[in-house]
Amino acid sequence: MEITIGAVVKGGTSLGYKTGSWRDQRPVLNMDACKACGLCESVCPDSAVHVIEDVYVIDYDYCKGCGLCAYECPADAIEMIREEK
């Protein structure tokens, strides 16, 4: 499927489109502070947060840098930093 400017696509298609180039900020995880509550994974609208071998990771190919993960993290283990391009 080709996406045109201003297009709206059906829900549940986030992993079909690499949108990481859209962001101007990126979330950085501090695993020492992380409590592994899973809230970041559940609030990510782009399914960019995953657990791999009991470690939370962010797939920057899909992360748009919205900051929801950092905002909702009760342990303040996610910091949004300016993206360098």
In-domain check, residue 57: yes
The whole-model pTM stands at 0.78
Cα gap 46→41, rounded to integer Å = 10
In-domain check, residue 3: no
Cα gap 72→83, rounded to integer Å = 20
In-domain check, residue 70: yes
pLDDT given for residue 79 in this prediction: 98
In-domain check, residue 66: yes
Q: Which two tokens stand for residue 73?
A: 């993290």
In-domain check, residue 5: no
CATH of the domain at 77: 3.30.70.20
Please state the domain count of the chain.
1
pLDDT of residue 67 exceeding 90: yes
In-domain check, residue 32: yes
Cα gap 59→7, rounded to integer Å = 23
